[in-house]
Amino acid sequence: DKNIKILAIESSCDETAAAVVENGRSVKSNIISSQIELHKLYGGVVPEIASRKHIEKINYVIREALNEAGETLDSIDAVAVTYGPGLVGALLVGVAEAKAIAFAKNKPLVGVHHIEGHICANYIEHHELEPPFLCLVVSGGHTHLVDVKDYGVYEIIGRTRDDAAGEAFDKVARSIGLGYPGGPKIEALAREGNKEAIKFPRAKVDDAPNDFSFSGLKSSVLNYLNKCEMKGEEVNRADVAASFQEAVVDVLSTHGVEAAKNLGYRKLAIAGGVASNGAFREKIQTRCREAGIAFYHPSPILCTDNAAMIGAAGYYEYMNGARSGWDLNAVPGLKI
Ligand code: KG4
Ligand code: ZN
C-alpha cells in the first residue's frame, strides 16, 4: 500500500496557500500567505489586488510547502487545486499553476471544490471521523448544511436565503467601526460585552427548518445603532458585538443540532471561517452533548482558508478516480 502525497493549492480569495498532505489526513506542510493586511486598507477584499498578490506569492508558498515536507515536484503523487467557488481572477492563478506543474511533471491533476475542502478539514485532526455525518459550513460566502453521505458524495440540505454568517459578521463589524475582517474583531470585542444586553432576532425560514437568514439580524443591528444615534445615546459597542454574536451562534447551533436529530445523525461537524469562533464552538458543542451527538471541529487555522483542507479533499477525490483535464478552468459560481 503506497502512501499518496498530494501537493494542494488554494487561491480562491485572499490567502495564497500550498500544502503537502499524505493519505488525506496527515499534513506534512501547510503554508499560508495572507493578504489581510493589504485588503484591510480598503475595508474588504479587492479582487484585482488579490489576483496580483497570488501571482507574486504562489511560487513561494509552493516551494515552502515542498521544502517543509521534504518533497519535490517529482516525489509527489498528484496536484490538487481549488477551482471554485471564489473570485475568478484569484482562482485562475492557482488553477494555471497547478496545471503547469501537473503537465510539466506528468502528474494527475485533481480540481477541488472549495466547500468540500472546508468539510474535509475535519478529517485532518479527527482520524476516527468517517462519513456519513452532517456538516455545517459557515464561511464568508457560504452557510450550508451539508449531508456528507460518503467520501466525495454530498447533498446540501439547508442554506442561507440571503447573507452568509461570516458576511453578517463582516457587515456588522463595519457598522460599529471595527474594520475587516469582522469575525475575529467581533469575537474579541464581544468578550468585553454582555450578550444578554440587546435582544436581536433569531430568524426562522417558514417551512424550511434547515435554511438560514441573516439579513434581518443585520438590519436589526443597524436599526438599533440608528435609534441610539437619534436619541443621542452612546452605543456600547461591546454589548452590540456580544448580543449580535450570540444571536448568530444561537441560530447556527439550534439549526445544526435540530437537523442532525431530524436526520437521525449522531455526528455533527462544523467548518469554514466562522467555525473558528470560540463562542460558536462552545454553544454547539454543549447542545451536541445534550443531544448525545458527537461533535467535530477543525483547529482555527484549518477553519479559515488553507491548502491542507484542499489536500484532504483532493485525496478522496483522487481515490474515487477523479482526474481533471488540461481544460480545467476556474468556476467562480461552482455548485457542490
Ligand atoms: O472560510 P473563510 O476563511 O473564507 C471563505 O471561504 O469565505 O471565511 C472567512 C469568514 C469571514 O467572513 C470572517 O469574518 C469569518 O469567516 N470569521 C469569523 C471568525 N474568523 C473568521 N467569524 C466569526 N468569528 C471568528 N473568529
Ligand atoms: Zn473558504
- pLDDT digits 0-9 by tens, 24-49: 999 999 999 999 999 988 988 999 99
Q: What is the mean pLDDT of residues 71-86?
A: 98
Q: Which atom of ligand 1 is nearest to the CA of 170?
A: 14
Ligand 2 centroid–CA 85 distance in Å is 9
pLDDT grade, residue 1 (50/70/90)? Answer: low
Q: Does the CB atom of residue 13 touch ligand 1 within 6 A?
A: yes
On whether 113 is known to bind a ligand per the annotation, the reply is no
Whether residue 140 has its Cβ less than 6 Å from ligand 1: yes
Annotated binding residue at 187?
yes
Q: How far is CA 292 from CA 15, 199, 241, 323, in A?
A: 37, 29, 31, 39
Residue 63 lies in a domain: yes
Give residue for cell 444615534: 229
Question: Is residue 22 predicted with pLDDT exceeding 80?
Answer: yes
Instruction: Tell me the mean pLDDT in the region 228-256.
Output: 97
Residue 272 near ligand 1, beta carbon < 6 Å: yes
Q: How far apart are the C-alpha atoms of 233 and 255, rounded to whole Å?
A: 35
144 shares a domain with 75 = no
The mean pLDDT of the chain is: 96
Is the CB of 15 inside a 6 Å radius of any atom of ligand 1? no
What is d(CA 310, CA 306) in angstroms, rounded to the nearest whole number? 7
**Residue 94 resides in a domain:** yes
Nearest Cα to Cα of residue 336 among 84, 17, 14, 81: 84
Is there an atom of ligand 1 within 6 Å of 139 CB?
yes
Residue 142 pLDDT level (bands cut at 50, 70, 90): very high
Are 146 and 282 within one domain?
A: yes
**For a pLDDT cut of 90, what percent of the chain falls above it?**
95
Predicted local confidence at residue 174, as pLDDT: 95
- Domain carrying residue 240: 131-298
Based on the fold, state whether residues 222 and 201 are members of the same structural domain: yes
Ligand 1 probe mutation, 167, 169, 175, 218, most atoms within 8 A of CB: 169
Same-domain check for residues 114 and 225: no
Closest approach atom of ligand 1 to CA 305 = 3
Instruction: State the Cα–Cα distance between residues 175 and 215, nearest whole angstrom.
Output: 14
> Region 67-93: what's the mean pLDDT?
98
Per-residue model confidence as pLDDT tens digits over 249-292:
999 999 999 999 999 999 999 999 999 999 999 999 999 999 99
